[in-house]
Amino acid sequence: EVQLVQSGAEVKKPGESLKISCKCSGYSFMSFWIGWVRQMPGKGLEWMGSIYPEDSDTRYSPSLQGQVTISVDKPISTAYLQWSSLKASDTATYYCARRYGDPTILAYAFDVWGQGTVVTVSS
Amino acid sequence: SYELTQPPSVSVSPGQTASITCSGDKLGGKSACWYQQRPGQSPVLVIYQDTKRPSGIPERFSGSNSGNTATLTIGGTRAMDEADYYCQAWDSSAAAVFGTGTKVTVL
């Protein structure tokens, strides 16, 4: 069974750093892009970026470029999303998801999602 | 940047058909997918590559995509289908774009 298991809820202060994780199992971790999706309280889904574990090729949303870093640890099949200096506006639920699809027709979807990590940033 | 627009809400009676639209420039030339998100839960893929259903998704969910509009149709709507629905596509720079989301209420 394909599973993406995320790290637990976090409560942080503005200016602190944070790294959340997404442990992947049940498939070839190297072969599928992993995406991160933000959902602010009461709002919709927003793609933040994606990473290809085999070569760590990473793409970011232009609106979030430079504000977060996406990485992987290949031996433990885990993807990460990290901040160096959190802001109150980073309060949200963050999901990781596996990208599945047909590259010959550029048709992709996020077929398996993690359970979400709630991040609260407050002084 | 590429944008996908959905109606904020759709209401439907049990057993009736609900249609949710997703509008974007030349969306019919891209591959669209749809996600269901129940309150407090992670999104679930219900339609991919415009019309395909993942295993385990009921046949009452169907999709189409042409021109500037993709449509998710829920036939014979049940109370359990009450949720938020999001369309999604990929823009020319390989960035994922989500629609604005539609809340489906089963009255």
pLDDT tens, residue by residue, A68-83? 999 999 999 999 999 9
**Residue B70: per-residue pLDDT:** 98
Give the residue among B87, B1, B39, B33 at the shortest CA–CA distance from A62: B1
Higher pLDDT, A1 or A104: A1
DSSP structure class, residue B52: B
Average pLDDT in chain A: 95
Q: Do B96 and A114 touch (CB under 8 A)?
A: no
Give the residue among A107, A106, A102, A117 at the shortest CA–CA distance from A4: A117
Interface of chain B toward chain A, CB-CB under 8 angstroms: 1, 30-31, 33, 35, 37, 42-45, 48-49, 54, 84, 86, 88, 90, 94-101
CB within 8 Å of A107: residues ≥ 6 apart: A101, B31, B48, B49
Average pLDDT in chain B: 96
Least confident of A15-24, A95-104, B31-40: A95-104
- The pLDDT-based confidence of A101 (bands split at 50, 70, 90) is confident
DSSP structure class, residue A38: E
Q: How many CB pairs under 8 A join A and B?
A: 65
Compute CA distances B50 → B31, B38, B88, whole Å.
6, 21, 10
Q: Compute the distance between CA of residue A114 and CA of residue A82 in angstroms, rounded to an integer.
A: 16
Q: B39 φ, ψ to 5°?
A: -55, 130
Structure tokens at A66: 């430079």
Q: Are A112 and A98 in contact (CB under 8 A)?
A: yes
Amino acid occupying residue B72: L
Q: Which residues of chain B have a CB within 8 Å of the CB of A111?
A: 45, 48, 54
Q: Which residues of chain A have a CB within 8 Å of the CB of B48?
A: 100-101, 107, 109, 111
Residue-wise pLDDT for B64-81, tens only, equals: 999 999 999 999 999 999
Structure tokens at A63: 């609106």
- The pLDDT-based confidence of A104 (bands split at 50, 70, 90) is confident
Distance, first Cα to last Cα, chain A: 40
Which member of B1, B48, B98 has the closest CB to residue A44? B98
Q: Which residues of chain A have a CB within 8 Å of the CB of B99?
A: 44
- The pLDDT-based confidence of A120 (bands split at 50, 70, 90) is very high
- The pLDDT-based confidence of A44 (bands split at 50, 70, 90) is very high
Q: Do B98 and A110 touch (CB under 8 A)?
A: no
Q: Do A109 and B88 touch (CB under 8 A)?
A: yes
Q: Compute the distance between CA of residue B68 and CA of residue B5 in angstroms, rounded to an integer.
A: 11
Q: Name the residue in chain B with its Cα closest to that of A118.
A: B40
Residue B77's beta-bridge partner residues? none
Q: Compute the distance between CA of residue A42 and CA of residue A55 in angstroms, rounded to an integer.
A: 35
